[in-house]
Amino acid sequence: MTDWQGIVGRHSGLVWRTAYRLLGNEADAADCFQEAFVAALELSRRQRVRNWPGLLQQLSTRKALDALRDRSRRARRSGQPADWMAVPSRNPQPGQEAEAAELAAGLRQGLADLPHEQAEVFCLRYLNDLRYREIARLLGLKTSGVGVLLHRARQQLRQRLSSEKVRSDVEVSP
């Protein structure tokens, strides 16, 4: 029998940080937090879990990316921009705050638009600071495959963010 109270107590911070970093607001992060633990419970009923932190980090990343994609689809359907939360910072200048909010929104949208495996590898590497080998083991990939997916994700995000920067510069120019 699994000690769920202990597992939740030990790993709740990890799951919360993972979800909140990606989603940027408490309500969505709370939903993702709950969904990750429910998915872990269901999985643990089917098979033995050897690495709870890794599993929970992977599940919370997947659930958060799914939430980003849902948010993006709803925004596209309604024709209105998505309600992205600003990136918190200490003592920002107004221009810096606006720039950080635009960058965060662009990155979230870019992650939502990436193929699932690329987005997951990117988040596990850069938001959760996992090494290539850890990501490969978690996702059942070769280490070289992680590198390829990460390269493609960075390339697509770089293109997206630079094209948005060009568009916003053109829109602002007189």
Query: In this predicted model, what pLDDT tens digit does every residue of 49-79 receive, in sequence order?
Result: 888 998 999 999 999 999 988 888 887 787 6
- Express each pLDDT in 120-137 by its tens digit: 999 899 888 889 999 999
pLDDT score for 90? 56
pLDDT of residue 127: 83
**CB-based contact 49:40 (threshold 8 Å):** yes
- Cβ atoms 125, 135 nearer than 8 A: yes
CATH topology of domain 4-172: Butyryl-CoA Dehydrogenase, subunit A; domain 3 (1.20.140)
Determine the pLDDT at residue 103: 79
pLDDT in tens, 2-27: 788 888 899 999 999 989 988 888 88
pLDDT of residue 24: 85
Band of the pLDDT at 80, cuts 50, 70, 90?
low
Q: Which of 120, 86, 116, 81 is closest to 103 using CA atoms?
A: 86
Residue percentage of the chain with pLDDT more than 90 = 37
| pLDDT value of position 174 | 41
Domain chopping of the chain, boundaries: 4-172
Q: What is residue 147's predicted lDDT score, i.e. its pLDDT?
A: 94
Nearest to 142 by CA among 119, 117, 123: 117
In whole angstroms, give the CA distance from residue 71 to residue 14. 23
